[in-house]
Amino acid sequence: MSTLQADRVSIETGSTEETIRVGARLGEALRGGEFLALTGDLGAGKTHFVKGVAAGLDIDPKSVTSPTFLLIHNLDGRLPLVHMDAYRLKSGEELAEAGAADLQDGESVLVLEWAGNVPDFVPSDAL
Ligand SMILES: Nc1ncnc2c1ncn2[C@@H]1O[C@H](COP(=O)(O)OP(=O)(O)O)[C@@H](O)[C@H]1O
Ligand SMILES: [Mg+2]
């Protein structure tokens, strides 16, 4: 099911495969410099969505794992993919200190799980 309303698109998926496919369609369309802000509880499917985005950037989805303990995971594909996770964070400072801010270079695609934990780190034009 998919609905379009103003600037908001809603897509409901019924399996990990479907979630990965939606992520992949988005990944294929990325041109670099985008920031994807992911929200949703533990188990919502954020990491599976990133696997799809990776596939759309010609990165093996298997190389996408939960970066909860790593903070930042760099992957190389058609464009560099920077996979971040703010699960344990209360502000974006730690991400900035870890060098994430420097990665907003206009070429890399930044994806942040638990974006709601660090609103100060999420650019206003994030998807
Ligand atoms: N439609 C769906 N899309 C993605 N994951 C789903 C879906 N339905 C059930 N799941 C299950 O939910 C879990 C999602 O895990 P994960 O992607 O790691 O979530 P998150 O990163 O949001 O914590 C997986 O164990 C998966 O099997
Ligand atoms: Mg996750």
- Site to probe by mutation for ligand 1, drawn from 48, 53, 85 as the one with most ligand atoms within 8 Å of Cβ, is 48
* Sign for the pseudo-dihedral over CA of 75, 101, 79, 46: positive
What integer pLDDT is reported at residue 111 of this predicted model? 97
CA-closest candidate to residue 111, choices 90, 77, 80, 78: 80
CA-closest candidate to residue 53, choices 38, 68, 43, 42: 38
Cβ of residue 67 lying under 6 Å from some atom of ligand 1: no
What integer pLDDT is reported at residue 40 of this predicted model? 95
Neighbours of 67 (CB within 10 A): 21
The alpha carbon of 14 and the centre of ligand 1 are apart by a number of angstroms equal to 10
| CA atoms of 97 and 40, how far apart (whole Å) | 25
Q: Reply yes or no on domain 20-121 having CATH 3.40.50.300.
A: yes
Q: What is the mean pLDDT of residues 72-81?
A: 95
Q: How do residues 18-50 score in pLDDT, each as one tens digit?
A: 999 999 999 999 999 999 999 999 999 999 999
The reported pTM is 0.93
Beta-bridged to residue 84, according to DSSP, are: 72, 112
What b/e readout covers 45-57, taking b as 16+ CB neighbours within 10 angstroms? bbbbbbbbbbbbb
The alpha carbon of 119 and the centre of ligand 2 are apart by a number of angstroms equal to 18
| Termini Cα distance of the chain | 20
Instruction: Indicate the average pLDDT of the chain.
Output: 91
The alpha carbon of 78 and the centre of ligand 2 are apart by a number of angstroms equal to 23
CA-closest candidate to residue 58, choices 32, 76, 31: 76
